[in-house]
Structure 1
Amino acid sequence: MGRTLVIGDIHGSLLALQQILERAAVTKKDHLIFLGDYVDGWSQSPEVVEFLIQLKTTHNCTYIRGNHDDLLMQWLHTGQYNEQWFNHGGRITMERYNALTEDEKQLHILFLESLKDYYLDEDNRLFVHAGFTNLNGIHHEYFTRMFYWDRTLWETALALDASLSTEDPLYPKRFNNYSEVFIGHTPVTRIGQTVPVQKANIWNVDTGAAFMGPLTIMDADTKEYWQSEPVYTLYPDEAGRN
């Protein structure tokens, strides 16, 4: 039986992605759950998407939607973009995608459209890019874009008194819906870490690959993890999102 392996935010770093798959000795028996943000940052966003498209033909992969993936899809559909996206990784992505043929772009649009908002496994473990806001969980979420934009789930976990019982009326009700929640979106480098961080039952696997950290793949059962080299060292002539 294979492992359930969770991959954090890639942000255009194909070299780092190839490193972690090799270092984790990934096999076709493993279930690979990608938490989103495949693009924006380093210069290989189209190559990352193409690699993921091909990987699914040989491996068991679940691809979750990140906010940067959604922003790219909107631009590819409409040609319109906002300055915030452009200045936070979108510029290099646009340049690279403008070099693709229309057929290549269409294949990537199909991939982006196929991304899942979340994945809930048989052990009641939730895998989602950012979080959710409804106290009763994902199936009651009114604002579905929060699956790839929310930061309050992680911020609440960071601020939570670790001594508080899960039965305490002050304990965040959202946390009790799932046995564990695996997220990306908000890099743990913001709290001075470069490894997966657990707060309550929330695991953050975004170890800052877009900035000065490595890319991470983690075994959801054992919590063993493997990392790339700090991604900026793999792209020495680029700035990423720094």
Structure 2
Amino acid sequence: MSKYETKPTIKISMKGEIKMFLYVWFFILGTIVGSFFQLCMDRLPLGLDVIKGRSFCFRCFHPLQWKDLIPVMSFVLLKGRCRYCQRRISLRYPLFEILSGLLLVFMVYYITPMGKAFLLYLLIMDFITLTVIDKKWQIIPDFTLLLEAVLTIGLIFYIDVPFYERIIGMFIISLPMFLMNQWVIESFGGGDIKLMFISGFLLGYVHILLAFCIAVIVGGLYAWYLLIRRKAHRHSHIAFGGFLCLGILVSLFYGELILSFCFL
């Protein structure tokens, strides 16, 4: 009798072990993805190819071997220094890889189906890359926009928005931004306009309007903070891509909740 009583416990234990194995695997996969997006942050602003060509140290320009490129582990084994020039490697590399792995585990745990979770994860990573590059260089590389467009094609099967709303969404923000650029030169960057064009198709016109409102409010508060602290003046340019990405993600994940609260 006791033999039969232990079977459910064994099944539950095995199920838990399988889940734990999957989460560990997703964490490792996330660190690899994070490593790739860090490569994008380093290479894209310099016009370097992110697909072809060997990785190299940006200090001594020595090509890196496979054992120098293992996410997190290589940093630990090398004690945070380049194998060839012995200069310190920035701590942001392993930290970003760890956070990328944790983010993928979080997305897979809370969002179903798994395909949707992974596509949203890649979209977030793409937006983080876009934001970092835009803040430092004030450019939005076409590669990040192309990747968003590819992810959008996949996500439309998981995000239920009428097709006509997607078409309107492509132009309802991007077209006024483009026209304003003709009136006030460089009021918006070309990358910002493309970003809203693609995201409008992803979200539809209602949610892209909400995304833009969020971006304007948060970006305006940030600009006000810079003016108060005298870190900028009235004619300074601030990178707006990151605020647009924030608005898009908030609208994507919490848009329905925000809209229902606003129109009670």
- Relative to the length of structure 1, the TM-score reads 0.27
Q: By percentage of residues, which structure has more helix?
A: 2
Question: Higher relative CO (CA 8 A, sep ≥ 6), structure 1 or 2?
Answer: 1
Q: Which structure: larger Rg?
A: 2
Q: By percentage of residues, which structure has more strand?
A: 1
